[in-house]
C-alpha cells in the first residue's frame, strides 16, 4: 500500500518537516532529529530506500538540492557583515582550510589505515562544514555577532572549496599514478574552475541588471532566479564535475553584494525552499544507508579517526590560522570546536567512494561509513554543545527573550524601564534623537535609525530580541513595520498599538490581514497611553499566588487599570492583546498601568507586588 514512490515522497516530506518542528518545539538540533528519523525508516526498519527507489534520479536530485541550498546561503554573504573580521575569515578559509586538509589527510592515512590517494581525497572533502548544518545551528544557538559571522562565512565559502579540493586531489593522484593522465588534464581542471566562477559572476550580474532595470516583473523574479541557479550549476558541472557548487556560490555572493532592493523578498523565498530541501535531503541520504555501512561505523580505526578530527585536527587548524588576528581566546575556542559536516560531505564522498573503488584504490570501501561516522558524530557533538559552550564562554545571547520597541515616547520609555527592571533585554529605536531623549536619560538602550532600512541589519544585532512592538504615532507605519518583519520574527511575536480611529475604513478587517497583533485592549492608542503616563499613571507588578489568583486580580482592578504583560518564573513573558486572552497562573507576575489613586488598592507590594 505504501511502497510507491509517491508514498515515499510523502513520508520524506512528513519526516523532514516533522523533524524540524519537533526540534523547534523541544529546542533540539534539527539535523540530529532528521538523521535519526532517516536511519529509523531506512536501514533500521527497512521502510524505504530512496537510493533504490529513485534510481538514476537520486544523485541529480541531491546535487540540485545542494546547489540551491548553497546559493541561498551565499545570498547572505554581504561583505559589510565582516567589517573588522576580514582578516580572521580570510585566514580560516585559506590557511585554515589548507591545514585542515593536510592534517585530516595524515590522520586518515596513519589512523584510519587508508591509502595516501584515498586519504588526500577525503582530507580535502572533510574541510567543509556547509550551510546545511551550520546555519540551522546558528539560528538555534543565538551566538554573538562575531563568532556567528565567522562560522557562517566559513560554512558557505569553504563548502564548494572542499568538493573542489577533493577533485583536485583526485586529479593529482591520477596524474602521479596513472600514465593516461597528463598535465593537460590538470590545466583543464583549473580552467574549468575559472569557468565556473566566471559563469556564476555572469549569471549574478545579469540577473541583478535585469532586476534593477525593470526587465523582470515581481511575480517572476523568484522563479527566474530559481531556474538560473539550476542552469548555472548544471552547465558548470557538465564541464567539470563538482565545479557547479563553485558557480552557484559565486552567483549568490555577486547578487548579495549588488544590494538590490527586491532581494529581501527573494531571500525569504529561498530560505523557505532551503528548509524544505535540507529536511528532505537529510532524510533521503540517511535512509539510503545500509546496515553494513552502519556496522562499519563502529570499527575502532574509524572511531579513532573521528575523535582525532574532533579534538585535534579542527582546533589545531583554527588556532594556527588565527594567530595575530582580532579573535579572542574564547572566540577561537568556540570556532575551533564547531565544525559539523553535512550534505555536501555525504554526497561527494559517495561519488568518490564509487570512483576510487572502481579504480582499485585500497581503503575506498570504507569511505562511506567513515564519512557517515564523521557527519553523525560532528552533528550530534556540535549540535548539542554549541549552546552550552557558547553560554559558558560568554559568547551566547541566550537569556530572557528581549523586546525591540519602535518609536520613542513617554509611554514606550516607561514600558521599556519596566521591562528592563525585570531583566528583560529591551531596546528602543527611532529615527529622531529628540524622540529618544527620555530613553537616553533613564539609561534605556537605544538605536537611532530606520528599523526598515537595509543598513540596520549591519549596525543593529537583533539576535537577543524575539519580540517587537511598533508603537509610533502613525498607525499605517506600525502596520508596515510588523508586516515587513514577519519573515524574521513571526507574527505571533509582532505587536502594534491600537488604531486611533477604529471605526473609519474598518481597520479591524485590515489588522487581521496586515500588521502585528494589537496590544492590550481596544482603545489603547498611542495618544491614550501617552496621556495616561503623563498624567501620572504608574507601572505596578502584581505577583499571583494560590490565594490571590488571576480571577481575584481581575475582580479588584479598576476600569482604568491596563494589564500590560505577564511574566513567568522561567523568564518567559507574554503581552496582553485584544486577540488572544492570557491565562496567568500562580507564581506569575502581572505588570499593569494603574491610575495613581488606585495604586494602593492592589495587594501591598510586600505581599504580592512592587510598584515602579
Grid cell locating 564: 500590560
List pLDDT tens digits, range 504-523.
444 544 444 567 788 887 77
- Region 346-371 average pLDDT: 76
548, 528 Cβ separation under 8 angstroms? no
Same domain for 283 and 411? no
Residue 515: give its domain's CATH number: 3.40.50.720
Same domain for 410 and 308? no
Contacting residues for 79 by C-beta, under 8 A, at least 6 apart: 257
More confident residue, 157 or 371: 371
| Dihedral over Cα of 324, 397, 273, 125: its sign | positive
Distance, in Å, from the CA atom of 494 to the CA atom of 124, rounded to the nearest integer, reads: 45
Decide if pLDDT at 362 tops 80.
no
Domain boundary among 471, 501, 535: 535
Distance, in Å, from the CA atom of 211 to the CA atom of 263, rounded to the nearest integer, reads: 9
Same domain for 446 and 303? no
Same domain for 477 and 339? no
Same domain for 40 and 118? yes
Quick one: pLDDT at residue 316?
Answer: 93
Contacting residues for 263 by C-beta, under 8 A, at least 6 apart: 75, 211, 255, 256
Same domain for 360 and 458? no
Cβ-count burial of 7 within 10 angstroms (0-12 exposed, 13-18 middle, 19+ buried)? middle
Quick one: pLDDT at residue 2?
Answer: 57
Residue 168: give its domain's CATH number: 1.20.1530.20
Same domain for 114 and 211? yes
Q: Poorest-confidence range of 306-315, 365-374, 512-521?
A: 512-521
Decide if pLDDT at 549 tops 90.
no
Same domain for 483 and 439? yes
Grid cell locating 187: 590545466
Q: How many structural domains does the chain have?
A: 3
More confident residue, 80 or 144: 144
Q: 577 is in which domain, residue-wise?
A: 536-612
Ramachandran class of 55: left when φ > 0, alpha when ψ lies in -120 to 50, beta otherwise: left
Contacting residues for 206 by C-beta, under 8 A, at least 6 apart: none
Same domain for 99 and 185? yes
Same domain for 82 and 114? yes
Q: Poorest-confidence range of 262-271, 290-299, 366-375?
A: 262-271
Decide if pLDDT at 448 tops 70.
yes
Quick one: pLDDT at residue 611?
Answer: 42
Distance, in Å, from the CA atom of 529 to the CA atom of 409, rounded to the nearest integer, reads: 10
Same domain for 106 and 185? yes
List pLDDT tens digits, range 462-490.
777 888 999 998 888 888 888 888 877 77
List pLDDT tens digits, range 2-44.
577 888 889 898 998 998 888 878 877 777 788 889 889 988 8
Contacting residues for 261 by C-beta, under 8 A, at least 6 apart: none
Same domain for 15 and 114? yes
Nearest to 97 by CA among 70, 124, 79, 119: 124
List pLDDT tens digits, range 586-599.
888 888 888 876 65
Mean pLDDT of all residues in the chain?
Answer: 80
Domain boundary among 327, 359, 393: 393
Q: Poorest-confidence range of 36-50, 122-136, 205-219, 406-420?
A: 122-136
Cβ-count burial of 588 within 10 angstroms (0-12 exposed, 13-18 middle, 19+ buried)? buried
Domain boundary among 360, 393, 426: 393
Amino acid at each position: 500500500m505504501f511502497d510507491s514512490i509517491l508514498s515515499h515522497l510523502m513520508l520524506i516530506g512528513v519526516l523532514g518537516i516533522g523533524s524540524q518542528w519537533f526540534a523547534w518545539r523541544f529546542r533540539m538540533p534539527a539535523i540530529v532529529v532528521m538523521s535519526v528519523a532517516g536511519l529509523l525508516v531506512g536501514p533500521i526498519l527497512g521502510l524505504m530506500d530512496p537510493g533504490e527507489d529513485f534510481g538514476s534520479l537520486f544523485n541529480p536530485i541531491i546535487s540540485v538540492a545542494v546547489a540551491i541550498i548553497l546559493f541561498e546561503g551565499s545570498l547572505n554573504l554581504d561583505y559589510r557583515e565582516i567589517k573588522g573580521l576580514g582578516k580572521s575569515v580570510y585566514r580560516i578559509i585559506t590557511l585554515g582550510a589548507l591545514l585542515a586538509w593536510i592534517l585530516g589527510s595524515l590522520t586518515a592515512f596513519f589512523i584510519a589505515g587508508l591509502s595516501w590517494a584515498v586519504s588526500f581525497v577525503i582530507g580535502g572533502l572533510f574541510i567543509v562544514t556547509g550551510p546545511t548544518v551550520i546555519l540551522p545551528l546558528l539560528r538555534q544557538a543565538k551566538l554573538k555577532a562575531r563568532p556567528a559571522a565567522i562560522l557562517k562565512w566559513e560554512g558557505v565559502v569553504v563548502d564548494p572549496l572542499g568538493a573542489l579540493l577533493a577533485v583536485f586531489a583526485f586529479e593529482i593522484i591520477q596524474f602521479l599514478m596513472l600514465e593516461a593522465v597528463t598535465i593537460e588534464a590538470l590545466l583543464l581542471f583549473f580552467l574549468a574552475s575559472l569557468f565556473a566562477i566566471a559563469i556564476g559572476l555572469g549569471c549574478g550580474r545579469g540577473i541583478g541588471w535585469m532586476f534593477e532595470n525593470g526587465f523582470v516583473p515581481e511575480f517572476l523574479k523568484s522563479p527566474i532566479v530559481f531556474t538560473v541557479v539550476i542552469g548555472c550549476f548544471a552547465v558548470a558541472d557538465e564541464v567539470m564535475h563538482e565545479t557547479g557548487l563553485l558557480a552557484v556560490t559565486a552567483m549568490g555572493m555577486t547578487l548579495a553584494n549588488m544590494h538590490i532592493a527586491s532581494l529581501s523578498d527573494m531571500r525569504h523565498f529561498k530560505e523557505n525552499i532551503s528548509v524544505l530541501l535540507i529536511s528532505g535531503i537529510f532524510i533521503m541520504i540517511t535512509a539510503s544507508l545500509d546496515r553494513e555501512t552502519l556496522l562499519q561505523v563502529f570499527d575502532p580505526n574509524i572511531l579513532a579517526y573521528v575523535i582525532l578530527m574532533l579534538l585535534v585536527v579542527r582546533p589545531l587548524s583554527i588556532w594556527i590560522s588565527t594567530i595575530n588576528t582580532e579573535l579572542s581566546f574564547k572566540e577561537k575556542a568556540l570556532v575551533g570546536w564547531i565544525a559539523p559536516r553535512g550534505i555536501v560531505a555525504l554526497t561527494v564522498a559517495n561519488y568518490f567512494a564509487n570512483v576510487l573503488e572502481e579504480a582499485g584504490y585500497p581503503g575506498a570501501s570504507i569511505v562511506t561509513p567513515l564519512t557517515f561516522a564523521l557527519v553523525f558524530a560532528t552533528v550530534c557533538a556540535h549540535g548539542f554543545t554549541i549552546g552550552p559552550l557558547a553560554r559558558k564562554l560568554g559568547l551566547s545571547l541566550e537569556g530572557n527573550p528581549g523586546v525591540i520597541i519602535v518609536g520613542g515616547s513617554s509611554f514606550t520609555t516607561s514600558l521599556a524601564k519596566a521591562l528592563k527592571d525585570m531583566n528583560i533585554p529591551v531596546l528602543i529605536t527611532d529615527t529622531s534623537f529628540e524622540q529618544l531623549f527620555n530613553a537616553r536619560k533613564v539609561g534605556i538602550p537605544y538605536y537611532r535609525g530606520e528599523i526598515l532600512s537595509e543598513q540596520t541589519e549591519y549596525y543593529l544585532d537583533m539576535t537577543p530580541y524575539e519580540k517587537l512592538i511598533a508603537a509610533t504615532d502613525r498607525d499605517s507605519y506600525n502596520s508596515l513595520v510588523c508586516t515587513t518583519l514577519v519573515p524574521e520574527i513571526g507574527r505571533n511575536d509582532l505587536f502594534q498599538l491600537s488604531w486611533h480611529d477604529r471605526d473609519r475604513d474598518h481597520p479591524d478587517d485590515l489588522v487581521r490581514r496586515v500588521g502585528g497583533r494589537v496590544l492590550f485592549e481596544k482603545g489603547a492608542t498611542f495618544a491614550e497611553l501617552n496621556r495616561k503616563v503623563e498624567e501620572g499613571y504608574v507601572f505596578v507588578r502584581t505577583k499571583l499566588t494560590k490565594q490571590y489568583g488571576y480571577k481575584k486580580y481581575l475582580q479588584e482592578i479598576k476600569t482604568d487599570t491596563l494589564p500590560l504583560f505577564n511574566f513567568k518564573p522561567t523568564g518567559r513573558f507574554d503581552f496582553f492583546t485584544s486577540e488572544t486572552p492570557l491565562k496567568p497562573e500562580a507564581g506569575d507576575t502581572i505588570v499593569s498601568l494603574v491610575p495613581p489613586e488606585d495604586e494602593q488598592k492592589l495587594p501591598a507590594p510586600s505581599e504580592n507586588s512592587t510598584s515602579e
